[in-house]
Structure 1
Amino acid sequence: MKEIEAWYDTKYDEWTRLERHKIEFDITKRYLDDYLQGENLEVFDIGGGPGRYSLYLAEKGHRVSLLDLSKRNIEVAKEKSFEIGIQLNDYIHGNALELDYLDKTYDVILLMGPLYHLVKESDRRTAVEGALKLLKPNGIIVASFISNYAPLQDYLSKVSPIESVDRILGYLENGKNKTLEGFTTAYFTDYMGARTFMKSFELTELVFAGVENILCCKEKEINSLEDSEYKKWIEIGYYLSRDENVIGTSQHFLYIGRK
């Protein structure tokens, strides 16, 4: 955990990541718009980084609390809140595996970061179980996973030199990213594994989506389009995101369920 915290504190700018990966951001927001129904919802964003989604939902009038492992991410969230004039309910420096001290319940919980940094399945299970204890009956949980094909897709998008074929293909075997191999400690999964994992909890699946699906191979080109053309591709991507034939082509998977 200390290594992951240090990565985000000193080596990685999570705020600008979603400026580079607009397709992921915009299609995910579309799902939040579609499935978070109601006004003034109590939302807890666990592992929400610098609060991109927290601030988006707060702008819509929801009461949002943010928790993240990185002190720097929490600081950035406060800075960005001040810049846009939107205040979150709380900014918590904390651990997704240590939520027992919290005694409030929420209408919506976002778990869109922790599950792909927890290599042990027992830890991933602890994170989901801890989140569900804080979720009201009939509440909504939103969880994200990174595909074990994502490292290969990154190399392919740039046709980067490959130092080790075995290392890239190794992600398909165990999904584990070792410390400082282009990223911090992480766990990647195929979509069937992620979906099966979430089905093991007492939840009703509302949607399981491959966020970027086939658009990720042309991300740079799509991002550079003028707005009206860009929106057409987002519409296509959103439509394809639940197509079982292409879900596995995504770099990120999105689960939405009801308790």
Structure 2
Amino acid sequence: MRAYYEQGKERDRLAGPKGSLEFARTKEIIQRRLPAAPAVVADIGGGPGRYSIWLAELGYTVQHRDLMDLHIRQLQAIGHPAIHSASGDARDVDLPDASVDAVLLLGPLYHLPERADRIQTLHEARRISRPVSPIFIAAISRWAPRLDGVLQERLYEHNPEFLSLLTDVEHDGTLPPVVPNGFLGYTHRPTDLADEIAEAGLHLDDLVGVEGLPLSAADMQARAGDTTAWNVLLNAARVIERVPELLGVSPHLIATAATG
């Protein structure tokens, strides 16, 4: 994981058409339940801080934590006074009990192949949250490697071995790197994510698909330059976001949970 993120790719990942769709949809999903500013939001595993910056610009105080020193330096270089960034592990957060009004977990569960670690991360989010605070939990869909990686990105053209990994990934959820220093992570079935949230003592308020059906890179690029086409894409994602049969189609899922 460290080798992948030390390449610095995460800082601009949400800037392209594909990332812009994820970013736009994630923001609107969060804003449905986010308490009004000013409030304190913990962005745990927040990477280089794209969501922390967005929240700070809306008037929130943000406690940003990430394992990667590079991400912390990138965020601290911006110098926003409402963002407090430090090194931190999502399984053992250095924040007091009941000290924040909302928690973002938009990455940690991607990188925890052991269920016990994922449950511990959810327990920590619950611990640092004030009563009834929303906790936003992102997960990679179990079928993202096939639908997003193979059909959309055609990763097999440069990495033929990727195709041979799909059966195992879809069976146990673990996505190994296919190139040196490549991405590795864990993928969720929607029902498994809901079960983990319940086991951590949280109440699941909502579970939605983020992007909808993955499209080709060329199609995404064309739509990004056309306001009407872009809005059609956003609206399609909204319409199908809670359809049970289609939840796993989106590359990302977001669960909104609460402490009680």
With structure 2 as the length reference, what TM-score do the two structures score? Answer: 0.88
Looking at structure 1, the residues matched to 8 and 63 of structure 2 have their Cα atoms a distance apart, in angstroms, of: 23
| Structure 2 equivalent of residue 140 of structure 1 | 134
Shift of 1:245: 2.4
Aligned residue among 92, 96, 119 for 1:103: 96
Instruction: Return the letter of the residue paired with 1:130.
Output: E
Q: Deviations over 1:119-171 (max 9, x none)?
A: 11111111111121100011110011111211112121133333254312210
Q: Evaluate the alpha carbon distance shift between residue 231 and residue 127 of structure 1 in structure 2; reply closer, same or farther with a 3 A threshold.
A: same
Shift of 1:31: 0.8
Instruction: Return the letter of the residue paired with 2:187.
Output: F
Looking at structure 2, the residues matched to 97 and 185 of structure 1 have their Cα atoms a distance apart, in angstroms, of: 18
Q: Evaluate the alpha carbon distance shift between residue 72 and residue 242 of structure 1 in structure 2; reply closer, same or farther with a 3 A threshold.
A: same
**Runs ≥4 residues deviating over 4 A:** 179-182
With structure 1 as the length reference, what TM-score do the two structures score? Answer: 0.89
Q: Deviations over 1:200-222 (max 9, x none)?
A: 233222210111122x2345413
| Structure 2 equivalent of residue 251 of structure 1 | 251
Looking at structure 2, the residues matched to 64 and 210 of structure 1 have their Cα atoms a distance apart, in angstroms, of: 25
Looking at structure 2, the residues matched to 184 and 113 of structure 1 have their Cα atoms a distance apart, in angstroms, of: 13
Q: Deviations over 1:166-217 (max 9, x none)?
A: 3122101111123555733311122221122212233222210111122x23
Looking at structure 1, the residues matched to 222 and 119 of structure 2 have their Cα atoms a distance apart, in angstroms, of: 39
What count of residue pairs does the alignment treat as equivalent? 249
| Structure 1 equivalent of residue 189 of structure 2 | 190
* Unaligned segments of structure 2, at least 5 residues: none
| Structure 2 equivalent of residue 122 of structure 1 | 116
Aligned residue among 3, 6, 11 for 2:3: 6
Shift of 1:71: 0.6
* Unaligned segments of structure 1, at least 5 residues: none
Looking at structure 1, the residues matched to 164 and 83 of structure 2 have their Cα atoms a distance apart, in angstroms, of: 46
Aligned residue among 67, 70, 73 for 1:72: 70
Looking at structure 2, the residues matched to 96 and 180 of structure 1 have their Cα atoms a distance apart, in angstroms, of: 26
- Worse-matched range after superposition: 145-154 or 217-226: 217-226
- Worse-matched range after superposition: 148-157 or 57-66: 148-157
SS of the residue corresponding to residue 85 of structure 2 reads: strand
**1:52-91 superposed matches below 5 A:** 52-79=50-77, 81-82=78-79, 86-91=80-85
| Structure 2 equivalent of residue 158 of structure 1 | 153
Q: 1:22 touches 1:223 (CA, 8 Å); kept in 2?
A: no
| Structure 2 equivalent of residue 41 of structure 1 | 39
Q: Evaluate the alpha carbon distance shift between residue 95 and residue 180 of structure 1 in structure 2; reply closer, same or farther with a 3 A threshold.
A: farther
| Structure 2 equivalent of residue 93 of structure 1 | 87
Looking at structure 2, the residues matched to 120 and 197 of structure 1 have their Cα atoms a distance apart, in angstroms, of: 12
Q: Deviations over 1:4-47 (max 9, x none)?
A: 233212x2411211123211111111111211132211000000
Instruction: Return the letter of the residue paired with 1:6.
Output: A
Q: Evaluate the alpha carbon distance shift between residue 6 and residue 164 of structure 1 in structure 2; reply closer, same or farther with a 3 A threshold.
A: closer
Q: Deviations over 1:221-251 (max 9, x none)?
A: 1343212331232122122111212111011
Instruction: Return the letter of the residue paired with 2:201.
Output: E
Percent identity over paired residues: 25
Q: 1:6 touches 1:70 (CA, 8 Å); kept in 2?
A: no
